[in-house]
Amino acid sequence: MSLLERIDTICLTVSDVEKASNWYQEVLGLSESYKGDHYRILSIGNSGVPLTIEEGKVNPNSQVYPIFYSKNIEEVYKLLKEKSVKVSKLQNDGVNHFFDLYDQDGNRLQVCYWK
């Protein structure tokens, strides 16, 4: 029997929650589902696991990062580059296609696709 049932949310720290929420909505197409005093909960497509952004001191050296899935990874990659989002090269390790991207605070995010 597992003590835990599911991942409830994934949290990232941002320097300005209002600006970050706007960026995640405008650039990545997430939708704000809850607005707290110093945090926002953002819905991701039809996923049951939201992204929570919390205002605070950003640690750009964090090794924890969310990985988003998209079956249209090449289109997403192109659109983010057109929006001047900092992205790594689109890579293929034989199983996964993936690339990193960075939000306004330098938080690492990743997009992947696999069959």
**Domain residue ranges in the chain:** 10-113
Sequence-distant (6+) residues with CB within 8 A of 52 are: 9, 10, 11, 12, 39, 40, 41, 42
Determine the pLDDT at residue 111.
Answer: 97
pLDDT block averages, 10 residues each, the chain of length 115? 90 97 98 97 95 94 92 97 97 96 96 95
Report the largest interatomic distance among the alpha carbons of the chain, rounded to a whole angstrom: 47
Determine the pLDDT at residue 4.
Answer: 87
- With CA atoms as reference, report the closest residue to 53 among 94, 7, 19: 19
Element (H, E) at 75: helix 73-82
Fold of 10-113: 2,3-Dihydroxybiphenyl 1,2-Dioxygenase; domain 1 (3.10.180)
